[in-house]
Amino acid sequence: MKKLFAINKLRELGYKITPQREYILDLFLKSKEHPSAESIYNTLKENFPYISLSTVYNTLNTLVDIGLARAIFLEDKTYFDPNIEPHSHFVCEHCGKIYDLEPVSIDLKSLKTEYISRIHNLDVYIYGICKECTYIKAQ
């Protein structure tokens, strides 16, 4: 997802474009490692020491609300994903790293619809050990 697209969508919905939001967007949109609010905050603080953690939460939550980001809820905390294309995640139980995977194809029509009226979304998490951790352990 591109920054300009996000900026336009925000503006279009009445959000104001502040420097803080741009800093956060810049960092978030180019991240590959599914950052938490705090990790974005810590990185940004190096260059913008007055940025506030609330502002980071506020911006990330807004992006999720308007469909420009995804929240990943794991055991310990919330991670954010700027990739809104359908895809699933692999979580390494050793190092905690979250990897993007191809979308897992699921036949939603085969689901028992006894309880379901409408489907909006789908999350697939696969847990295991990543190759990196296997190699390290093998040493």
Partner DNA sequence: ATCATTTTTAATAATAATTATTAATTTATA
Partner DNA sequence: TATAAATTAATAATTATTATTAAAAATGAT
Nearer to its own copies, 12 or 75 (CB): 75
Interaction with its own copies in 67-126: which residues (CB under 8 A)? 71, 73-75, 78, 90, 93, 99, 101-102, 104-108, 110-112, 114-126
Nearer to its own copies, 53 or 74 (CB): 74
Nearest one of 8, 38, 12 to 24, comparing CA atoms: 38
Quote the DSSP letter at residue 94.
T
Provide the sign of the torsion angle of the four alpha carbons 36, 42, 43, 44, taken in this order: positive
Decide: helix, strand or coil at residue 89: strand
Does 38 help bind its own copies (rule: CB under 8 A)? no
The CA distance from 117 to 106, in Å, is: 17
Nearer to DNA, 59 or 130 (CB): 59
User: Footprint of its own copies on this chain (CB under 8 A)?
Assistant: 71, 73-75, 78, 90, 93, 99, 101-102, 104-108, 110-112, 114-134
